[in-house]
Amino acid sequence: METNSNANNNHGEYIVIKAKDHGVQVIGLTRGQDTKFHHTEKLDKNEIMIAQFTNHTSAIKIRGKAIVMTKYGTMETDQ
Residues engaged in binding ligand TRP (CB under 6 A): 26, 28, 39, 41, 51-52, 54, 56-57, 60
Q: Give Cα separations from 36 to 26, 45, 58 (angstroms).
A: 14, 26, 10
Find residue 25's DSSP bridge partners: 42, 63
| Residue closer to ligand TRP (CB basis): 20 or 58 | 58
User: Shortest approach of ligand TRP to residue 41 CB, angstroms?
Assistant: 6
Q: Which residue number is nearest to ligand TRP in terms of Cβ?
A: 28
Nearest distance, CB of residue 53 and ligand TRP, angstroms = 7
Burial of 43 (0-12, 13-18, 19+ CB in 10 A): buried
